[in-house]
Amino acid sequence: ESKERLGMIVDKIDVDKDGFVTEGELKSWIKHAQKKYIYDNVENQWHEFDMNQDGLISWDEYRNVTYGTYLDDPDPDD
């Protein structure tokens, strides 16, 4: 299964379709995959942080989601 999946990915990485993956093609693919992961991650978390759904994340919204009730009572008994 791993070889099959790798074969499908190699076809996408091999931009010039010469049957080989060059260092440059691999670097480009890794950058592409990292960007996609970052953008997908931001998209998935945006709605969680944008609590008032205004398309912007204020410091208060970020702080509330990130630190939650800890800021209300930084030394809880429990």
**φ/ψ of residue 26, rounded to 5:** -65, -40
Decide: 36 and 44 in contact? Cβ < 8 Å.
Answer: no
Give a yes or no: residue 16 inside a domain.
no
* pLDDT in the model for residue 8: 85
* pLDDT in the model for residue 75: 60
- Say how many CA atoms lie within 13 Å of 41 toward its Cβ: 6
* pLDDT in the model for residue 2: 87
Give a yes or no: residue 9 inside a domain.
no
Give a yes or no: residue 8 inside a domain.
no
**φ/ψ of residue 56, rounded to 5:** -130, 155
Give a yes or no: residue 77 inside a domain.
no
Overall pTM surpassing 0.85 (yes/no)? no
- Domain interval for residue 44: 22-70
The CA distance from 60 to 47, in Å, is 15
* pLDDT in the model for residue 27: 97
The residue length of the chain stands at 78
Q: Give pLDDT tens digits for 8-48.
A: 899 899 999 998 999 999 999 999 999 999 999 999 899 89
Report the domain count for the chain: 1
Residue corresponding to tokens 């996408």:
12
Give a yes or no: residue 76 inside a domain.
no
**φ/ψ of residue 15, rounded to 5:** -60, -40
What is the rounded average pLDDT of the residues 48-63? 92
* pLDDT in the model for residue 72: 58
